[in-house]
Amino acid sequence: MAFVSQLSQFTLSAVTPKTQFTPRASVFAPNSVKIGAKRVEKTRIWTGELVRERPTFRVRAGSEEELGPEKEEGPAVAVAEVEEEVKTVEPSEIDRLKKALVTSFYGTNRGLSATSETRAEIIELITQLEAKNPTPAPTEALTLLNGKWILAYTSFAGLFPLLSRGTLPLVTVEEISQIIDSENFTVQNIVQFSGPLATTSISTSAKFEVRSPKRVQIKFEEGIIGTPQLTDSIVIPENVEFLGQKIDFTPFKGLINSVQDTASSVAKTISRQPPLKFSFSNSNAESWLLTTYLDEELRISRGDGGSVYVLIKEGSSLLTA
């Protein structure tokens, strides 16, 4: 009450049984800011035998036109909106490391063409990410492992002959992926090829067993050579490199064009055949895999011989980074 009585803009007077106040005439010009008061509620104070009523006031500022109904939420909402507009989300350290790692893969052909300097940089980034692994026990978070993973980089030399263009003339590796089904404990590795006439794939199916919070044991059961699918258009390159020798196809353009119809007919016949399946029966059909980093879009695994694999979840923005 002492604070309110010091406001010189109005004078209070007591009226029984209700307390009222009479504001003085405004000394402010129109549209200027002035202090208004509004009685909000009564509070009862017990003082023994006598109950006195004391009014409680809420003080706010506004122009003369605004000193009618209270508009308490307007300014607060406006301030909140301004704060929301200026608020920015900084990328985390993990996000920066993942972005740098994926960028370092550029031009390496999944690791085949990486220089020793680039490999060292990639290993350093991988080590930093492994130290910040948000999923320390990947085998206890199998739902994160579910789905299709695209191979972005590997140090496994066994894949390099497959990635080399000289091994399979006119054929390129379009994609290497892994599909994990944690409910049925199955893993499927797929390599997709494309050639001048058709596309096809080779895949292997395996079962896995959890051996530790990070390690799984994989046993391959079956391999499948997919049925070739005829491409919409046939593109013959002018030259191709095979076993270190460049073969020029320019003199044979006419001949090649003349046999394209026959080749297309053969491809159509092959595409109607069922996939070719084969089984694994030797001890080499088993291996283990250690997952050292895992989140919703990136996975780092290490296999036999210390080979490292970096895979990106299908649909992740990292694939287009």
Question: pLDDT for 53-112, tens place per residue?
Answer: 555 545 455 555 554 555 455 455 444 554 555 455 678 999 999 999 999 999 999 999
Q: Is 131's pLDDT higher than 80? A: yes
pLDDT at 265: 67
Q: Do residues 56 and 122 share a domain?
A: no
Among the candidates 58, 82, 106, a domain finishes at: 82
Q: Do residues 24 and 137 share a domain?
A: no
pLDDT tier at 279, thresholds 50, 70, 90: confident
Query: What proportion of the chain, given as a percentage, has pLDDT over 70?
Result: 56
pLDDT one-digit tens code per residue, 221-247: 888 988 777 665 555 666 666 555 666
Q: Is 37's pLDDT higher than 90? A: no
Q: Do residues 29 and 162 share a domain?
A: no
Instruction: Please give the residue range of the domain that contains residue 269.
Output: 95-320
pLDDT at 200: 85
pLDDT tier at 251, thresholds 50, 70, 90: low
Ramachandran area for residue 220 (φ above 0: left; ψ -120 to 50: alpha; else beta):
beta
Q: Is 122's pLDDT higher than 90? A: yes
Question: Is residue 87 situated within a structural domain?
Answer: no
pLDDT at 89: 62
Which range (76-80, 140-144, 206-210) has the least confidence?
Answer: 76-80
Cβ pair 164, 172 in contact under 8 A: no
Q: Do residues 73 and 122 share a domain?
A: no
Q: Is 16's pLDDT higher than 60? A: no
Question: Is residue 188 situated within a structural domain?
Answer: yes
pLDDT tier at 11, thresholds 50, 70, 90: very low
Q: Do residues 68 and 101 share a domain?
A: no
Q: Do residues 247 and 112 share a domain?
A: yes
Q: Do residues 59 and 119 share a domain?
A: no
Q: Where are the alpha helices (DSSP H) in 109-176?
A: 116-131, 142-145, 160-163
Q: How many domains does the chain have?
A: 2
- Say whether pTM exceeds 0.75: no
Question: Is residue 293 situated within a structural domain?
Answer: yes
Which range (41-55, 83-97, 107-121, 256-270) has the least confidence?
Answer: 41-55
Q: Do residues 233 and 273 share a domain?
A: yes
Q: Do residues 192 and 52 share a domain?
A: no
pLDDT at 175: 94
Q: Do residues 67 and 125 share a domain?
A: no
Among the candidates 20, 54, 82, a domain finishes at: 82
pLDDT top residue among 147 and 256: 147
pLDDT tier at 168, thresholds 50, 70, 90: low
Euclidean distance between CA atoms 172 and 194, whole angstroms: 6
Q: Do residues 167 and 301 share a domain?
A: yes
Question: Is residue 259 situated within a structural domain?
Answer: yes
Q: Is 197's pLDDT higher than 50? A: yes
pLDDT top residue among 113 and 46: 113
Q: Do residues 78 and 112 share a domain?
A: no
Q: Is 38's pLDDT higher than 60? A: no
pLDDT at 7: 42
pLDDT top residue among 280 and 144: 144
Euclidean distance between CA atoms 61 and 32, whole angstroms: 10
Question: Is residue 164 situated within a structural domain?
Answer: yes
Cβ pair 161, 243 in contact under 8 A: no
pLDDT average, residue stretch 173-187: 94
The torsion defined by the Cα of 96, 107, 165 and 259, in degrees rounded to 10, comes to 100
pLDDT at 158: 83
Question: Is residue 195 situated within a structural domain?
Answer: yes
pLDDT top residue among 224 and 285: 224
Cβ pair 171, 179 in contact under 8 A: no
Question: Is residue 44 situated within a structural domain?
Answer: yes
Question: Is residue 54 situated within a structural domain?
Answer: yes
Most confident range, picked from 43-52, 191-200, 291-300: 291-300
